[in-house]
Structure 1
Amino acid sequence: MSSDLDPGSTIFFTLSIDGESLGFFNGCEGLSSEVEVEHRQEGGNNGFVWQLPTRVTFSTIRLTRPLTADTATVAAWISSITTGVQRPTAEISALRADGSLVARWGLLDVLPVRWQGPSLDPANPSVATEVLEITHHGFTDVEGE
């Protein structure tokens, strides 16, 4: 089976903020949205209840990776929040092991909300990982598609 069609092939992710790369990540969770629905009953109509959309919410996105030199770029972005909140656009791309694009998501008004560094314990020789959590105000079209 061709790697272009193999759904089991290894996927990794890239994150860029206003075109500046924050590097590669091997885990990405939370690319989702939910439409809240308000239920309205119409007098005299017992056949159904109106379900009206009210608000769209977007979950926090959690990106994970082994500790790399790109951690400094993430730290610089998070530190920039202390000098004034700017909410840039972002792009998350899912790539196959050969670097070919699987999917791409554009995000509006991105803000880093949490960074977790590695736990360094000599008794536990596991890979040192970092976690970056970002929030956003919705999805947008990605240029070049």
Structure 2
Amino acid sequence: MTDNIFATTPFFKLAIGGNDLGTFQTCSGLGAEVEIETYAEGGNNSFDWQLPGRVTWSNITLTRPVTRETAKIARWFDQIVQHVEPKDGEIVALKPDLTPIISWQVHGIVPVRWQGPSFDPGSSEAAVETLEIAHEGLKVF
């Protein structure tokens, strides 16, 4: 029997520098881009050389409703802004029953932005927090 990936809603567990920061509902920005330098060689009119250059990594953004785990982010962010030092971490995609689907080792994480919740008693939507991190690269495990 194969897993039906469309029948599950994954969660994403985040740990940075040994700090378990809890689970998130969404994770976006897992990606990279290779800069390409085009070189036109003299006498060769049929194509241009496409030479790979620097790799740039997208910032990763994670969001979740406000829960007791929000305090974990607040404490971690308070510590890290005192002395920003890149730390390695891990993002694990989890099935609803919390079994791992896939994980990414993320290198050199630094926080870019934490957006706390906006509370509106007139709205029925959950208060959401967002964490954006920059990094130096990732590997799939």
Per the normalisation by structure 2, the TM-score is 0.93
Other-structure match for 2:62: 63
- Percent identity, please: 46
Other-structure match for 2:88: 89
Where do 1:12-27 residues align within 5 Å?
12-27=11-26
- How far apart in 1 are the matches of 2:119 and 2:62? 19
Pairwise CA distance, 1:17: 0.8
- Does the alignment pair 1:107 with 2:106? yes
- How far apart in 2 are the matches of 1:141 and 1:101? 13
Other-structure match for 1:138: 137
Secondary structure in 2 aligned to 1:109? strand
Show structure 2 runs of 5+ residues with no match.
Answer: none
Number of equivalenced pairs? 140
Higher strand residue share: 2
- Does the alignment pair 1:43 with 2:42? yes
Show structure 1 runs of 5+ residues with no match.
Answer: none
CA RMSD across the alignment:
1.4
Q: CA deviation digits over 1:91-134, x for unaligned, max 9?
A: 00001112221110111110111111111111112111111111
The amino acid across from 1:113 in the alignment is V
Other-structure match for 1:34: 33
- How far apart in 2 are the matches of 1:25 and 1:82? 22
Other-structure match for 1:127: 126
Secondary structure in 1 aligned to 2:72? helix
- How far apart in 1 are the matches of 2:112 and 2:81? 12
Contact 2:106 2:137 in 1 (8 A): yes
Pairwise CA distance, 1:141: 6.0
The amino acid across from 1:44 in the alignment is G
- How far apart in 2 are the matches of 1:86 and 1:115? 16
- How far apart in 2 are the matches of 1:115 and 1:78? 8
Other-structure match for 1:7: 5
Contact 2:89 2:105 in 1 (8 A): yes
- How far apart in 2 are the matches of 1:76 and 1:38? 43
Per the normalisation by structure 1, the TM-score is 0.90
- How far apart in 2 are the matches of 1:141 and 1:117? 29
Task: From the superposition, tell whether residues 37 and 100 of structure 1 become closer, same or farther in structure 2 (CA, over 3 Å).
Answer: same
Task: From the superposition, tell whether residues 138 and 62 of structure 1 become closer, same or farther in structure 2 (CA, over 3 Å).
Answer: same
